[in-house]
């Protein structure tokens, strides 16, 4: 069966931030068809009938915002989980998974934003992260975070500033990563400089990140390969999906 990957692109300013482009580059070389839909723009989310893998990207938006497209995407995520489609979310996408499957009460503003290269401590073994160094240095850029995810979520990694850096929904093929391993080092440095120029939010953290030497331990090839090769169960919609839904 041909693997068909759907990327739900959560970029708001699509001319500056192109998360689907980063994921497409990481998927190059894998035997799969890739389609993307920019959800904030109101683009229609394609039917999931032929989708074998789903990727949820980062966003400049906050998961705590009360905007209609967040609810639209959350419904699609619940549908995908019910179907047994493997899902991988990064940053906003990581938070979206918890919002959709467990509720917004498990999300909050970060006490201190996490910007730049972050060192992650891996807490539990998981096949998606088998090829990741311990500790793992990876690019992060977030102002919100997941807090106290309920069962069946398992926390796989943490950092000094964020207790929930990587999660899995029990033993199902559903993973969230708070950092951005998909973003190349040069693009990460560009995004930091861009934020310094155009934003005043978290100025101290942004400036500090712009001065730190990058420490990019690349693990994305391993993560993408393991994700794409993962073939989860495909029950019919509504059968054997979420253990805890909304």
The CATH code of the domain that includes 145 is 3.40.50.880
Residue 121 counted as domain residue: yes
Taking only the tens place, the pLDDT of each residue in 4-40 is 999 999 999 877 778 899 999 999 989 899 999 999 9
Domain-embedded: residue 241: no
Length of the chain: 246
Does 32 qualify as catalytic in the annotation? no
Catalytic, out of 73, 114, 145, 182: 182
Q: Judge whether residue 168 has pLDDT over 80.
A: yes
Asked if the structure places residue 239 within a domain, the reply is no
Q: What are 76-111's pLDDT values in tens digits? A: 999 999 999 999 999 999 999 999 999 999 999 998
The boundaries of the domain holding residue 215 are: 3-229
Q: What is the mean pLDDT of the chain?
A: 85
- Number of neighbours of residue 44 by Cβ within 10 angstroms: 8
Active-site pick, 91, 145, 162, 205: 91
Query: Is 73 a catalytic site residue?
Result: no
> Is 182 labeled as catalytic in the residue annotation?
yes
Where b means 16+ CB within 10 Å and e means fewer, 219-240 reads bbebbbbbbbeeebeeeeeeee
Question: Which residue of the set 53, 145, 180, 205 is catalytic?
Answer: 180
Which candidate, 167, 220, 174, places its Cα nearest to that of 30?
220
Q: What pLDDT sits at residue 239?
A: 40
Structural domains in the chain (count): 1
The answer to whether residue 77 sits within a structural domain is: yes
Phi-psi region of 87 (alpha: psi -120 to 50; beta: other; left: phi over 0): beta
Does 242 fall in a domain?
Answer: no
230/184 Cα distance (integer angstroms): 24
């Amino acid at each position: 069966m041909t693997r068909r990957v759907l990327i739900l692109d959560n970029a708001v300013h699509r001319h500056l931030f192109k998360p689907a482009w980063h994921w497409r580059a990481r998927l190059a070389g894998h035997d799969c068809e890739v389609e993307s839909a920019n959800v904030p723009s109101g683009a229609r989310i394609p039917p999931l009938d032929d989708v074998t893998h789903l990727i949820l990207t980062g966003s400049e938006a906050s998961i705590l915002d009360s905007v209609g497209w967040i609810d639209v995407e959350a419904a699609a995520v619940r549908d995908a989980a019910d179907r047994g489609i493997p899902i991988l979310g990064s940053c906003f996408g990581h938070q979206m998974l918890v919002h959709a499957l467990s509720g917004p009460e498990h999300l909050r503003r970060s006490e201190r934003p996490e910007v730049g290269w972050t060192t992650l401590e891996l807490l539990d073994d998981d096949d998606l992260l088998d090829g990741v160094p311990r500790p793992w240095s990876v690019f992060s850029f977030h102002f919100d975070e997941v807090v106290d995810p309920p069962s069946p979520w398992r926390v796989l990694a943490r950092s000094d500033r964020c207790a929930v850096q990587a999660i899995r929904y029990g033993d199902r093929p559903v993973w969230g990563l708070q950092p951005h391993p998909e973003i190349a080092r040069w693009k990460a440095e560009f995004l930091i400089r861009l934020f310094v120029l155009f934003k005043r939010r978290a100025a101290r953290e942004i400036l500090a990140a712009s001065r730190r030497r990058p420490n990019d331990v690349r693990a994305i090839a391993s993560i993408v390969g393991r994700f794409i090769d993962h073939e989860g169960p495909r029950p019919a919609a509504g059968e054997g999906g979420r253990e805890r839904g909304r």
